[in-house]
Amino acid sequence: MRCGGNLAKVASKRRHFGAAPCKIGPSLSSPPRREEREVATTVLASVQPVSSRAIIDSPNSTTTRHELLFLNYFRLAQALVYVGLAFTPTGVGWPHLDNSNLARLVAAGYLLFALAVVSITHLAKALGWLGILGTLLVDIVAAVLAIAAMNDARIGIAMMLAVNLAAGALLLPLRLALFLAALATLGVLGRTLFATPHAVSVDDRDFLESGLFGMAYFAIVVLCNVLGRQLRASEALAEQRSIDLVNLAQVNELIIRRMKTGVMLVDDANRIHQINESAWMLLGNPSSDQRDLGRVAPELSRRLYHWITSGKLDETATQLADGMPEVVPRFSRLAPNDDSLVLIFLDDTSLVSRRAEELTLGSLGRLSASIAHEIRNPLAAIRYSAQLLAESNEIGTTDLRMVEIINNHCSRLNDIIENILQLSRRERSRPETLNLGDWAHDFIEEYKLGNDLGNDSLRVIDNSAGPVVAVADPQQLHQVVWNLVQNALRYGRMPGEPARVLAVVRHGEHGVPILEVIDRGPGIAPKVAAQIFEPFYTTHEYGTGLGLYLARQMAEANQAVLEYVRVAGGGSCFRLVLTPPVRIEPAV
C-alpha cells in the first residue's frame, strides 16, 4: 500500500534523526495550522524549477564559498613565500634579488592585502564578481612584479600564479577567466621583453619559457572552468533532489495526518509512535503523554495481539471510546515477518454508512423524474375523478365518505412525491437580507389563512431590542419553517389538548439571528432525537421521513444550522441559527 510505504519512510526518517513523536492537536474540521501552511508554501516553491545556471553563477553558494576560502588562504601562503624570498639574509646566495627594495615592498604589501582578504572572508562579507576579479588582478600584478624583482624564483612564482588562475576559473565565468589568463600571459611575456638592465641577460629560452607558461594558463583556465561548471551542475541537481525528497516526506506526513482513516504506528512494546488526527479522535482524544496502546484502547490492543499471534483479523466493528463512532481495525507490518513496527488503520464505519446513504439518495434522485411522470399523472386523474364524483347529486353519505378518503390519500401521496422531487431538484439558494421579525409575522398570518387551526394556537414572539436581520432565501426559509410548524401542530400536543406553538425570533450569542419553533407537547425521546434528521426515518405510520431531512438540507444550503433542543418542563424546540449580514466597517 502506497500510503503505508510513505508512512514507513517518514517514520524511519524520524527514528533516524531522533525526532519526537508527532503531537496531535485540533480535529479534522479545524482550519490548516501554520506548519501546514508552511509545508504548502514549501511545496509550491519547489514546483518552480531550480536553474543550475543560477546556482553555478551564484558567489554565495556553499561550494563557491569553500573555493573562495581556499583561494584566500592559498594567497596568504603565497604572500608568505614572497616575504621569505624577499627577506632572505644577505649571506644566502639564492635567490638573487635584482631589485631588493621592490621585492620587499611587493612582498610586504601583498602580505597585508592577503591578510585583509582573509579577514573579510571570515566576516562573511560577500565579495561578488567584482571583488573576486579585483583580487585576482592584484595577484597577477604582484606575481609579475615579484618575477621582475626576483628573477631566480620566476618559475616557482609563475607556477603559483597558475593556482590563482585555476581558482579564478572555478569562481568566474569563462570569459573573465580567459581575460585573466591573457593578462597573466602578457605580464610574464612583458616582463621578459622589457627586462631592466639590472636583470640577467634575456635569451630565446626565456621567451619560450614565458610562452609555455601562457599556454599552460589558458589550458588550466579552460579545464578548471569546465570541471567547475559540471561540479556545480551536479551540486544543483543533488540539492534539487534533496529538496524534493524533503518536500515529499512533508507532504506524505501532512496527507496522512489529515486522512479520514485513522493511522497509527505501534512498536512491539505496544507503544504508540505515530498517530494522525483521525485516529486521535477515534481513540477519544487521549493526552499526548498516553502512549501505551493497552491503556488507551484495550480492545484494539487485544486485537493486535490476536493478529500477531494467530495471523487472523477480527473484522467486526468496535467502539474504542465513548461517544465515538465504531471502527474496523486493520493491521499491516512495515517489513515482512517483522513485528517490531505495525501500522494500524482504523476505518470509520459511519463514513461507509454515509457514503452508502449518499449513493442511495443519488439513485433516488435519478429515479424521481420517472416517478413523477409515472405516478403524478394517474394520481391527478384519480383525484379529479373523485372530485367529480363528490359533486354528483346521487351519491350517498357512505359513498361521500369514501370519496373523502380517496382525496385524503391522494393528497398524502402527492406530498410524498413532492418531497422526493425536492431531493432531486436541490435548487440553488438565492439569499436576501430579511427582517426576521417582520418575516415571521407575515409567515404566521399566511399560514393561518391557508390552514384551519381550530383550537390550536400559533403566534410569534419577538422581544428583541432591535431588528433581527438575517440572510437567507425567502422561499427556502418558508419551506423550512412551514415544515417545522406543521410538525409542531401535528405532533407537539398533549393527548386531548390543543397544540400551542410559538415562533420565537431573537438574537443569539455575538448577535446571530435565531428563529425557534417551540411546542408544549410530550417532547422527543433522546434515542429518537438522534435520528430525526436522517432520511426516511419516521415514527408516524403515515410519515415519509423526509420532512426534517429536507429542512436541514435547505438550512445548510443557506449557511444556517437546524438543530433540535429539548425544552425543560416538556416540549420540543427546533432552533434555526441563520447567517447575519456582513457588516462593512467605515473607513478611518
Q: In the prediction, which pLDDT does 413 show?
A: 76
**What distance in Å separates the CA atoms of residue 389 and residue 59, rounded to the nearest whole number?**
99
Q: Are residues 554 and 495 in the same domain?
A: yes
pLDDT single digits (tens) 151-196: 788 888 889 999 989 988 888 888 998 999 999 888 888 877 776 4
With 80 as the cut, is the pLDDT of residue 444 above it?
A: yes
Q: In the prediction, which pLDDT does 382 show?
A: 85
- 552 within a domain of the structure (yes/no): yes
Number of domains in the chain: 3
DSSP annotation of 399 reads H
Q: What is the mean pLDDT of residues 408-428?
A: 69
Q: Are residues 437 and 516 in the same domain?
A: yes
DSSP annotation of 292 reads B
Contact of 135 with 117, CB cutoff 8 Å: yes
> Which residue is it, cell 476505518?
347
Q: Are residues 412 and 525 in the same domain?
A: no
Q: Are residues 556 and 487 in the same domain?
A: yes
- 287 within a domain of the structure (yes/no): no
Q: Are residues 464 and 488 in the same domain?
A: yes
Q: Are residues 161 and 139 in the same domain?
A: yes
Q: In the prediction, which pLDDT does 466 show?
A: 83
Q: Are residues 465 and 501 in the same domain?
A: yes
Q: What is the CATH number of the domain that holds 400?
A: 1.10.287
Q: What is the CATH number of the domain that holds 470?
A: 3.30.565.10
Could you tell me the pLDDT band of residue 218, with boundaries at 50, 70 and 90?
very high
Q: In the listed set 235, 260, 289, which residue is the last one of a domain according to the structure?
A: 235
- 72 within a domain of the structure (yes/no): yes
- 331 within a domain of the structure (yes/no): no
Mark residue 454 as left, alpha or beta (left: phi above 0; alpha: psi -120 to 50; beta: remaining). left
pLDDT single digits (tens) 342-354: 888 888 877 777 6
Q: Provide the domain limits for residue 137.
A: 54-235
Q: In the listed set 188, 205, 235, which residue is the last one of a domain according to the structure?
A: 235
- 503 within a domain of the structure (yes/no): yes
pLDDT single digits (tens) 88-145: 776 555 677 777 888 889 889 999 998 988 888 755 445 577 888 888 999 999 988 8
- 321 within a domain of the structure (yes/no): no
> Which residue is it, cell 524533503?
246
Q: In the prediction, which pLDDT does 587 show?
A: 42
Q: Are residues 550 and 533 in the same domain?
A: yes
Nearest to 513 by CA among 566, 445, 438: 438
Q: What is the mean pLDDT of residues 492-499?
A: 83
Q: Are residues 418 and 510 in the same domain?
A: no
Supply the Cα-derived Rg of the chain in whole angstroms: 44
Residues 6+ apart with CB under 8 A from 468: 435, 436, 437, 462, 505, 506, 507, 513, 514
- 19 within a domain of the structure (yes/no): no
> Which residue is it, cell 620566476?
154
- 282 within a domain of the structure (yes/no): no
At residue 416, the 3 state secondary structure works out as: helix
At residue 244, the 3 state secondary structure works out as: helix
Q: What is the mean pLDDT of residues 545-573?
A: 83
Q: Are residues 84 and 215 in the same domain?
A: yes
**What distance in Å separates the CA atoms of residue 441 and residue 447, rounded to the nearest whole number?**
10
Nearest to 156 by CA among 225, 95, 90, 113: 95
**What distance in Å separates the CA atoms of residue 86 and residue 66, rounded to the nearest whole number?**
30
Instruction: Tell how far CA 531 is from the center of its chain.
Output: 34
Q: Are residues 110 and 199 in the same domain?
A: yes
Distance between first and last Cα of the chain: 57
505 or 364, which is more confident? 505
Q: Which three cell numbers stand for residue 57?
A: 553563477
**What distance in Å separates the CA atoms of residue 448 and residue 459, rounded to the nearest whole number?**
10
Q: In the prediction, which pLDDT does 94 show?
A: 64
pLDDT single digits (tens) 526-539: 888 787 777 776 76
Q: In the listed set 177, 206, 235, which residue is the last one of a domain according to the structure?
A: 235
Which pTM was predicted? Answer: 0.42
With 70 as the cut, is the pLDDT of residue 315 above it?
A: yes
Q: In the prediction, which pLDDT does 156 show?
A: 87
Q: Are residues 172 and 103 in the same domain?
A: yes
Q: What is the mean pLDDT of residues 331-336?
A: 85
